[in-house]
Chains A and B, each alone.
Chain A
Amino acid sequence: MEEKIIYTLNELRTYALSKKVEAAFFYHEEDSYLMRFANSAISLNTNEHLVRLEITVHDGRKRASYEMITDLNQLEEMKKGLDIAAEMVKHAQPLNYQPSMAQLSETFEDTCSFDEGLAKISNEERLAYFNQAVEGLESEDIKLSGVFSSGTNITAQMNTRTEHYQYFKTSDAQITIVLSHLQLKWEVIAEQSAHQKSDLKPAKLHQELSYLLERYKADEAQQLPLGKYNVVFGPAATAEMLSFMNWIVFSGGSMKRGYSYLSENQLGKKVFNEQFTLVDDPNCLDTFPFKQDFMGIKREPFVIFDKGVFKSFTWYQDDADEFGAKPTGHHVMHKSLVLQAGDKQVSTLEELVKMPHDTDILYIPYIHYMNIVNPSKALVTGSSRFGALLIKKDGSTMVPYNVRLTQSLQDVFGENLVWMSAEQTAYNTSSSYGARNPVAIVVPTFVRVNNLEISHSNSSY
């Protein structure tokens, strides 16, 4: 397959050169499988095999692109796509900066995140995984929802400047299992990310769900009083906040457009808690990394925050071109964010509940529908969901209705940050909008933050 892809791109390159058109080709192929569960049944079982080709034509400072969903047997159709882009660029308006094209000085292939076993996992194996993960946990009232999303992702690039190309192949799986009470409407969740088949551990999810169910079945949910709480975030919540940080805190383009918490004046200054070290680490396979960016820049571990000190913005190539910044190797479909582990020895929710606490702790595993209220203040809002617990000082627990947090990320990762666990989790933050793009963020499994304001408290689910 790789041979045919490169052959096709080469043919397009030759065609573009023959037409004296400067062009870049970006190939994306996905084989996506999704088994979805709802009301304890398989509500949907799908497969989509899609090939996308994006052709960008450059003419000095002018640029136009044409994208098509196609297949490798449609070379003539692809050539027509190039013709369309070449025609479009004539009508484009020159940019006030010079847009870059990839400098592919050598051919680069990366398939280290690909696992044949995971890529070829069968429908029967997906179903067996779910059956094992929820064995004995469903009832007349407690129903299973969830997804087993897995697939193969191939990207390849070539342009008219050299014969070299880049080729990346990844396998991935994202599993979400939700158990919810039909009448009472509470929900608990367990999730897993995998880049190889041996990562799949349904027994671990069974254990997590069993523990939460025990608590949720025993307690009637209660409305929490508004006010300040000491909170422990689970991996989903922490990863979600880092995803937003990626957008409104350390993106060079956002900063230049005034849509950012940080400015250039804060480079080299302490911004967050000294426990906060955030690295974009393409060596971390759990993040489905790109080891070279799409401009051909080799990617090495890139420190964004070091012990709370802000070290660098990250730049998407077009932003770097526009604002005259030095490219940082971040022209990729996603970064490989890793939040360094702390030293608190706690690996599971059960251990978190059992460990001694100086105060009551509100455990928030997941933040639903987070959005940015004010980017300049890094102010975000969202609601707890999926298995929150109030862990009392005496070791008992109480089930709370969902609550809303409207806080600055500074409040979470600044001086209020108390500890982070030594155990880390790769949390899969992939969405399936548009082209498949598996991405995970590695975070401490538990992050404790004091004095966070609960601004709204539900009286029911």
Chain B
Amino acid sequence: MQQEFLNQIEKLKAKGATYVDTRWYPFEETNMLTMINGNLKNMSSARESGAGIRVLYKGAWGFSASSDLGDLGTLFDKAFDYARVAAERVTFPVRLSEKDAICDTFSSPNRIDPFEVPLQDKVAFLRKMDEALNQAGVMQRMADLTFVRKQIIYLDSEGSQIEKNIIEVFPSIEVMGVDDKGVAQMRKFLPGRTGDTRGWESIDEKLFLENAQRIVSELNQVLKADECPIEDRSVILLPGIMFLQTHETIGHALELDRILGYELAFAGGSFVRLEDFGTLRYGSPKLTARANATVPNSPGSFGFDDDGIPAQDNLLIDKGILVGAITGRQMVEEANARARKQIFNGSSGANRATTFYRVPIERMTNINIDPGTDGSLEDIIANTEKGIVLDGDKSWSIGSNREQFHFSNHIGWLVDDGKVTKVVKNATYKGDTLKFYNSLSAVGDERTWELRYVDNCGKGQPNQIMQLGHGVPVCRFDNVRIGE
């Protein structure tokens, strides 16, 4: 089969294609189990296979994909024809940055393949969680397990041949209750990624049971809590919301396709301009952010991207100054040409497609914030005069250029004179991105740093859902509006 793909690639090169690649998925499997209030509402599996063909012709892309690989010739020809039509409207002919031809493999680190674990063991885990969550105050309890296993064969006209075998595990539990005013409140637990592997063994039952008690207890506190005040305070973001803050206002803002205007028809653009690299003070000197696809235990680490570029660890923001972006081969060439200087030195290896029937676009890897020197959460609280500790991603809404945002949280703890005074409900905060990051006044040390995953990042047309990670410490930002 692999040889057939290579033959087709050669055929299109002979027809004038300047570049061709194929991502052949021999299989992608998912297994999902969801238990709600003791009911196993979802027990499903899925399997798909197929190939996506990307062709560059006269500076324009064509793409075709199918699950039916019985006629590869037609599939490749179609992609070529689509590129031919696209070439009728080209303003900046697509060029790809240089890369080495790579023949290699990548396997995500796992000890126990979750697809080899009996279903009854998975159901038993959910039952245990359901029992642990079934307590006073809880109106709805949910336990969820999602497993993914896929094989991807990447071949391109520049000589790369890469095989990837990836397994992902996404477990979570959550509880919901209704307060005396009829308002829904919730808490949830998604474990931070610890350890070096990401198979079934990464699900720590003891940790889940401990956190089941914690989220039920916190839910009951929120149900009885006062409303979050509307005022300006320092916000102390725990990793359970700092990951999303990072995702939405650093990650998406620094995707180079957004910066160059390639997502304006849907997802939006970015307030960042090409001339900002190297000069823009994105945040206070306490802010250092990086795109690190080499972390072992994260869906944002995948060995090689869908341009065939190896995983990298790159700085995005260095002590507050914008220095890098999330890039693929096409966008770095266009950005350098538009800026008339070399801003980017090759691709950062972040061009990814969610599946075989979607095209690769710039996606986050693991967009991490470096730990700081401001101690533990307790230390940061002790050094806060008037603040609020926030956790949970209840809602998020971001301006189209990622210039401003509004988040609501599952729980807040007011802090006055260095001490937590009380829990509040319906906590929210909002701000302008640059002003917010420049108000970063404390960054927790390694003890506060957690790697969280995101399994539902949407972008692109046709739409794509991507999985990735964010390693973040506890962070404090000053003079932030809360409660609106």
Contact = CB atoms under 8 A, between A and B. Distances in A.
B400 A91 contact: no
A459 B271 CA distance: 12
A376 B269 contact: no
B62 to A, nearest CB: 5
B158 interface: no
Interface string A427-461: 00001110000000000000000000001101111
Contact of A44 (B139, B359, B398, B465): B359
B399 A458 contact: yes
Contact of B48 (A39, A68, A258): A68
Interface residues of A, number: 87
Interface string B65-94: 111101000000010011101101111100
Interface of B: 35, 38-50, 60-68, 70, 78, 81-83, 85-86, 88-92, 118-120, 123, 127, 139-140, 176-178, 181-184, 260-266, 268-269, 271, 357, 359, 394-401, 403-404, 406, 408, 426, 428, 430, 432, 458, 461-465, 484
* Interface residues of chain B: helix, strand, loop or mixed (majority): mixed
A200 B465 CA distance: 30
Interface stretch (A100-108, A174-182, A348-356): A174-182
A382 interface: yes
B43 A64 contact: yes
Contacts of A368: 268, 399-400
Given A147-B461, A149-B461, A368-B399, A70 B119 contact: no
Contacts of B357: 48, 50
A425 B81 CA distance: 35
B399 A383 contact: yes
Instruction: Kindly list the 8 A-B residue pairs having the minimum CB-CB distance in the complex, ordered from nearest.
Output: A69-B48, A432-B462, A91-B119, A42-B86, A145-B264, A71-B68, A67-B46, A45-B82
Contacts, number: 248
Interface in A385-419: 385, 402, 404, 406
Given A45-B82, A93-B123, A458 B463 contact: no
Interface string A54-88: 00000000011111111101000000010011001
19 contacts: A38-B265, A41-B91, A42-B60, A44-B61, A44-B359, A48-B64, A88-B45, A95-B41, A145-B264, A146-B265, A147-B266, A149-B461, A176-B265, A178-B264, A259-B184, A373-B428, A374-B184, A376-B181, A406-B484
B86 A381 contact: no
Contacts of A176: 265-266
A45 B176 CA distance: 44
A216 to B, nearest CB: 14
B176 A257 contact: yes
Contacts of A131: 89
Interface of A: 32, 34-51, 63-71, 73, 81, 84-85, 88-89, 91-93, 95-97, 123-124, 127, 131, 143, 145-147, 149, 176, 178, 180, 182, 185, 187, 257-259, 263, 318, 322, 368-377, 381-383, 385, 402, 404, 406, 431-433, 455-456, 458-461
Q: Chain A CB within 10 Å — which of B62, B120, B261 has the most?
A: B261
B56 to A, nearest CB: 12
Nearest to B130: A93
Contact of A91 (B41, B123, B127, B263): B123
Contacts of B44: 64-67
A175 to B, nearest CB: 10
Nearest to A377: B183
Contacts of B119: 88, 91
Contacts of A373: 394-395, 406, 408, 428
Contacts of B266: 147, 176
Given A40-B89, A180-B269, 16 more contacts: A41-B86, A43-B262, A44-B359, A47-B65, A67-B45, A68-B46, A69-B47, A88-B43, A93-B127, A127-B88, A145-B261, A178-B265, A180-B261, A376-B184, A381-B395, A382-B397
Contacts of A39: 91-92, 260-262
A458 B404 contact: yes
Contacts of A370: 397
